[in-house]
Amino acid sequence: MVLLEVRGLSVIYRTLFGTVKALDDVSFTLDKGESIAVVGESGSGKSTLALAISRLLPPNARYVSGEVLFDGINLVKLPQSKLRMIRGTGIFMVFQEPANSLNPVYKIRDQLIEAVKVRMIKSGEAFDEGKALKEIISTLRDVRIPDPEIIIDRYPHQLSGGQIQRVMIAMGLLMRPRLYIADEPTSALDVTVQAQILKLLKDLKSEYNLSIIFITHDLAVASVIGDRIMVMYAGQIVEEGNIDDVVTKPYHPYTQGLLGSLPRISKHEGKLPIIGGSVPSLINPPSGCRFHPRCPYATDTCIKVIPQLKITDNRRVRCHLYA
């Protein structure tokens, strides 16, 4: 059953240097209980997509077109006053930059208790503070927060960035949202903690039928967490499909580039391997195929004609080679 359907979503940012076309005609669906890993180099539009789905775009951003249907409700058109309905237990997002995610004036304890309270009340359970606290401590331990009994009595500014990130991951786990969006939540953490958190998320996914959008630079992480993978380049989806299919046989030249040089030693984890050149400016994106300046197979057609995202076998690919 479909939980989220994004249809033709385009988003721009207004800047002093011009209009940044950060998302261009992005469409995909996510079923209940399904996870999708979103990958792509820096500047490809991954965070913009997450923020656009959650209605958390900054003030200089605009929705140009498209819909975000969450349980059939178009969030793009939903008035601010109704957004509270979907926040938290509907859609929960762990940000790439977590610094301001917590309320600075409340202790961690109060913020996590509130999260559990909201969940319990929404699910018709009677709220029990002692029970909530037990669950909080054990979840903080799960995300490898040392001495959770001490940490919960701190204020956010008394925690490190990595600790705040883990508290946010824990808050998401405690809230059990229908859609959990995580924007590179583990990239700053060490490999063992990362693996632990990924395992937790996977367990919760199967236990509570959680749907997950997981943004990552790391293809190894994507393979662990994703049922499907969505590869983004310069604000567009270039390939999307079942993760095993795409990883074993990538079709799009960009995906091939990402995977071709996938490092085998964990030493290089956290960053995507290098393809010659860099993601173009999205103020004046390249004509035709946005990847043509970096593509080894580019032809005149690629420079002139924009390739559409087409169904090829059991996946979608945006490339003239598969027209």
Q: Which amino acid is at 134?
A: K
Instruction: Please work out the total of residues on this chain that contact ligand SF4, with binding judged by CB under 6 A.
Output: 12
Q: Which of residues 244-303 bind ligand SF4 (CB under 6 A)?
A: 253, 289, 291-292, 295, 297-298, 302
Q: Which of residues 25-84 bind ligand ATP (CB under 6 A)?
A: 40, 42-48, 58, 60
- Using an 8 Å Cβ cutoff, are 120 and 132 in contact? yes
CA angle 120, 125, 131 (to 5 degrees): 70
d(CA 65, CA 250): 30
Helical H segments across 35-100, by residue range: 46-54, 80-83
Judged by CB under 6 A, the stretch of 13-21, 126-134, 303-311, 314-322 that binds ligand ATP is 13-21
Q: Which amino acid is at 6?
A: V
Mark 257-296 with x for binding to ligand ATP (rule: CB under 6 A) and - for no binding: -------------------------x--------------
Is 132 a binder of ligand ATP (CB under 6 A)? no
Return the one option of ligand SF4, Mg ion, ligand ATP, none that residue 44 interacts with (CB less than 5 to 8 A, by type).
ligand ATP
d(CA 116, CA 126): 11
Judged by CB under 5 A, the stretch of 70-78, 90-98, 100-108, 243-251 that binds Mg ion is 90-98
Query: 72, 21, 25, 80: which is closest to 55 by C-alpha?
Result: 80
Q: Which is nearer to ligand ATP, 13 or 28 (CB)?
A: 13
Can you read off the two tokens belonging to residue 261? 């040089």
Is 307 a binder of ligand SF4 (CB under 6 A)? yes
Is 47 a binder of Mg ion (CB under 5 A)? yes
Q: Which is nearer to Mg ion, 180 or 251 (CB)?
A: 180
Query: 93, 88, 185, 100: which is closest to 143 by C-alpha?
Result: 185
Q: Which amino acid is at 269?
A: E
- Using an 8 Å Cβ cutoff, are 76 and 70 in contact? no
Minimal distance, residue 144 CB to ligand ATP, in Å? 24
Exposure class string for 274-294: b at 16+ Cβ within 10 A, else e: ebeeebbebeebbebbbbbeb
d(CA 156, CA 168): 11
Is 68 a binder of ligand SF4 (CB under 6 A)? no
Return the one option of ligand ATP, ligand SF4, Mg ion, none that residue 233 interacts with (CB less than 5 to 8 A, by type).
none
Residues in touch with ligand SF4 (CB under 6 A): 253, 289, 291-292, 295, 297-298, 302, 307, 319-321
Binding positions for Mg ion, rule: CB under 5 A: 46-47, 96
Site residues (CB under 6 A) for ligand ATP?
A: 13, 15, 20, 22, 40, 42-48, 58, 60, 96, 282
